[in-house]
Structure 1
Amino acid sequence: MSDRAPVPVGTMPDGSPILEARLEGDGLSVAILSVGAVIRRLDFHGHPMVLGRDDPHDYVDKTPQCGAIVGRFANRIAGGRFALDGTAYALARNEGGRNHLHGGATGFSRRNWTFTEVDARSLTLAYRSADGEEGYPGALDVTCTYAITGPGTLRATLVATTDRPTIVNLTNHTYFNLLLPPEGFPAPVVDDHVIEIPAEAYLPVDDGQIPTGAIAPVAGTRFDLRRPTRIGTQAFDHAFVLGRETVAEPRPVGRITAAGSDVALTVLATAPAVQFYDGTNLPKAGLGYDARTALCLEPEAFPDAPNHPGFPSATLRPGETYRQIIAYRFTKEDAR
């Protein structure tokens, strides 16, 4: 640990301190909390790019995974149930009593991680998820390393190992808005943001946002975002298919611009899918945000993968290493 040691900014319900550390360089200023390994603030050349809370306790009590690492399994698992190696497991049904969402009522986003390394341009946090936590089998050791790796680029590397077969799907759940005012609030709607996702297929869902099992082409549908498309009010909360496997190095999975902004955000990742969520349900968090005042691009495994044999596996076994890399690259563009 360097002399840039994290500082206490709040207290968890069990009395342990919530710590914050900062990264600086290449046009970025980033604040990371121990709770949820949250990206609390991300400024590009002095301008805020993400939703963040002034009160760190909001990340424990209220926030909808805002800026956090979510897991053990991001997105949804139908009915909170899955089977692995012939054994059935029941998870918390924390989405309206119907499905398991983002790792449960107290998933990784509301756990207090431990800073293990901090310097000016990178830091690492660790969390050990106990066997049986939220219903998942096996103890899981997770690390998250945030690093400024080049001009305007923040890279998150997520690594996990287990002592028993389990399922793992980690992502970062930061809410982006390229038109935030200097104080970051109130946030304008993202309807005039323009998105591009280089995916030829997406996962259709039922009325509970659970994949039907089909992998459908985007051509001829509103999900064809291969060319820059104004977001508008269409209500997106869907997984876009980038491939069948996790790749070794991050590839572009989405690009965002906005009318009135001279900033472009390119998201790169190693995951086989990316969830695009337009923030339609943000008011439910009770934080004062209006609908669609920020958007998420969440690189991840296929939602509900354990219940669909035709989807790429999300199983992790002892001796294997789960690795997911997400990079956020901000660049200056001609004002739109």
Structure 2
Amino acid sequence: MFLLLVGVSTGALAASAEAAGPVDLKRENFQKEIDGKQVDLYTLTNAKGMVVKITNYGAKVEQILVPDRNGTLGDVALGYDGIDQVLTGQPSMGSFIGRYANRIGGGKFAIDGQPYQASLNDGPNSLHGGKKGSRFVVFDAKQIDPQTVEMTYTYKDGEEGYPGTVPSRVVYKVTDDNALDIAFDATTDKPTIVNFTSHVFFNLAGEGNGSILGHQLQVNAKSFTPVDSTLITTGEIRPVKDTPLDFTSPQAVGARITSSYDQLGFVKGYDHNFVIDKKPGEYGLMARVVEPVSGRVLEVYGTQPGIQFYSGNFLAGAVPKDQGKGGHLYGLQEAFCLEPQVFPDAPNKANFPSPVLRPGETYSGKIVFKFLTQN
């Protein structure tokens, strides 16, 4: 593979990938038994030709086919050719994240004065549910109809250090207006913390088609939650005005990404939580992304108070981790993620929205990725 890439420009690679068309993911390449449970690939379609393919290993979205302004279908989600590649790939790519999305400082938190220690898997911190969060488990899956699949997983009491037995459900639905609707809920038998999100890696030019720095991003947020050098929120809620995190109007992702602003230096790009301008629990528009060349547009809606914008800073074109569909090597900032969520480290920040779930309550939410085009 490396020999074939020598002397080939990024533009030529992108043109070649686009001309070749989307990779045809084969169901049989995702069929395998893991931890005594059967893994499979589920295909969702609508009458307009939108296609979404999801594996129940990590409830990962592996492919999203949507049209460009000319009506040509392209694959806007990074992913892998089969389950063996998924197992050696980027663990968050496409995953449904639980029991607690994003980071918890030191993995420590307390509920009603009772201390807990979650497993550490991101330096000194716990990330995306720990060493074996939902990214690494097999969900039970049932296809409801051609447009809908339901996936369930029960987190065990003490799993990864979290209290409570937590039955959870996520329902993926491809709607008739070219949206991927993700609805989820959970309950518990003892006080715990819950924060779910979707971690699809997007490139609206098409996966394998190069940098996302020309994508234009707008976020419905006048403030964000700064982080320290270990990427844990400080507790401050800071205005985005006069910072490189001001996306209150559309801005190219790459326009300020190399700024000397300390927040960008911590991760060599964006990996920050934005405080969405809406009432807690209210469903609404959170972010909008435009890819000018293809004309594809992504609108992100949700019920959560925050959204994490990640600019693909840890993609490195490394084999096997970053070798995706059709052998495409996913390099630095060749994807972005928009992850609706409760704020990072919220269990340890009294001024942040609470992620605590108690017996008798139901945690529920919705994330919608809606695809449009513009001229």
Does TM, normalized by the shorter one, top 0.5? yes
| Pairing 1:71-220 to 2, within 5 Å after superposition | 71-96=98-123, 98-180=124-206, 184=207, 186-220=208-242
Structure 2 residue aligned with 1:256, among 286, 289, 296?
289
SS of the counterpart of 2:83? coil
Instruction: Report what 1:14 is aligned to.
Output: 35
Q: Does 1:240 align with 2:266?
A: no
Instruction: Report what 2:96 is aligned to.
Output: 69
* Structure 1 residue 16, shift from structure 2 partner: 2.7
Instruction: Report what 1:226 is aligned to.
Output: 248
SS of the counterpart of 2:40? strand
Q: Is the 8 A contact 1:244 1:312 kept in 2?
A: no
Q: 1:138 to 1:292 in 2, by over 3 A?
A: same
Q: Percent identity?
A: 36
Q: Normalising by the residue count of structure 1, what TM-score does the alignment of the two structures yield?
A: 0.92
Aligned-CA RMSD value = 1.7
Q: Is the 8 A contact 1:126 1:141 kept in 2?
A: yes
Q: Quote the Cα distance in structure 2 between the aligned partners of 1:169 and 1:260.
A: 35
Instruction: Report what 1:3 is aligned to.
Output: none
Instruction: Report what 2:58 is aligned to.
Output: 36
Report the residue type matching 1:151 in the other structure. D
Q: Is the 8 A contact 1:245 1:271 kept in 2?
A: no
Report the residue type matching 1:253 in the other structure. M
Q: Is the 8 A contact 1:10 1:57 kept in 2?
A: no
Encode CA deviations 1:278-316: one digit per residue, 9 max, x unaligned: 001122783242110000000000100000011110000
SS of the counterpart of 2:106? helix
Structure 2 residue aligned with 1:326, among 363, 367, 375?
367
Q: Quote the Cα distance in structure 2 between the aligned partners of 1:325 and 1:30.
A: 17
Query: Which deviates further from its counterpart, 149-158 or 57-66?
Result: 57-66
Q: Is the 8 A contact 2:105 2:125 kept in 1?
A: yes
Instruction: Report what 1:23 is aligned to.
Output: 44
Encode CA deviations 1:78-128: one digit per residue, 9 max, x unaligned: 0011111111111111012x1000111111011100113421111111001
| Pairing 1:247-326 to 2, within 5 Å after superposition | 247-248=281-282, 250-283=283-316, 286-287=321-322, 288-326=329-367
Q: 1:314 to 1:243 in 2, by over 3 A?
A: farther
Q: Is the 8 A contact 1:157 1:323 kept in 2?
A: yes
Q: Quote the Cα distance in structure 2 between the aligned partners of 1:62 and 1:51.
A: 11
Q: Is the 8 A contact 2:42 2:143 kept in 1?
A: no
Report the residue type matching 1:141 in the other structure. P
Report the residue type matching 1:110 in the other structure. F
When Rg is computed on C-alpha atoms for both structures, the one with the higher figure is 2
Q: Which runs of 5+ in 1 are unaligned?
A: 1-5
Q: Does 1:50 align with 2:77?
A: yes
